[in-house]
Amino acid sequence: MSVPLSHVLIVASLMFAMGLGCVVAWRANVIMMLIGIEIMLNAVMLTFVGGSAHWGIADGQLFSLMLMALTSAEVSLALAMVVYLHRRKQTVNTDQFDSMKG
């Protein structure tokens, strides 16, 4: 394939910027914040796979596999916590979870 590496990196960084914007803009909604984190991690995976293909070493693909395992663990724990918090407060609005505020 005759696409330069910089174009892959441009796509990945635009995707990362979108995920960052999603986390910051939807900071009142826990589920949309988690979706933003997913987008950012996928952008990082695209960077790893692009670098791995560019230099012909399998390490980048390996790290994206590790990242996938990390993400599945993180999402299962975070969604369990969302269900737990929703059971307690009946909302996913982060502004309601202020019981530790002094």
Partner 1 sequence: MEATLFYILAAVLLIGTLLAITARQAVRSIVYLVTSFFALALMFYLLGAPLIAAFEVIIYAGAIMVLFLFVIMMLELESPEKLAKPHFKNWLPALLLAGAVVGALVVLLCSRLQAVPPGFTEIPVRQFAFALFKQYGVAVEVVSMQLLFALVGALYLGRRR
Given the complex with partner 1, which of 64 and 102 has the nearer CB atom?
64
Identified binder of partner 1 from the candidate list 88, 89, 93, 96, rule CB under 8 A: 93
Closest CA relative to residue 67, chosen from 52, 84, 85: 52
By the rule CB under 8 A, 18 interacts with partner 1: yes
Cα angle value 23/42/80 (rounded, 5°): 60
- 50 contact partners, CB below 8 Å, separation of at least 6: 5, 8, 9, 12, 60
By the rule CB under 8 A, 81 interacts with partner 1: yes
* CA separation for the pair 55, 81 (Å, rounded): 40
By the rule CB under 8 A, 44 interacts with partner 1: no
Given the complex with partner 1, which of 18 and 97 has the nearer CB atom?
18
By the rule CB under 8 A, 22 interacts with partner 1: yes
Given the complex with partner 1, which of 73 and 102 has the nearer CB atom?
73
SS3 3: coil
* Total of residues contacting partner 1 (CB under 8 A): 71
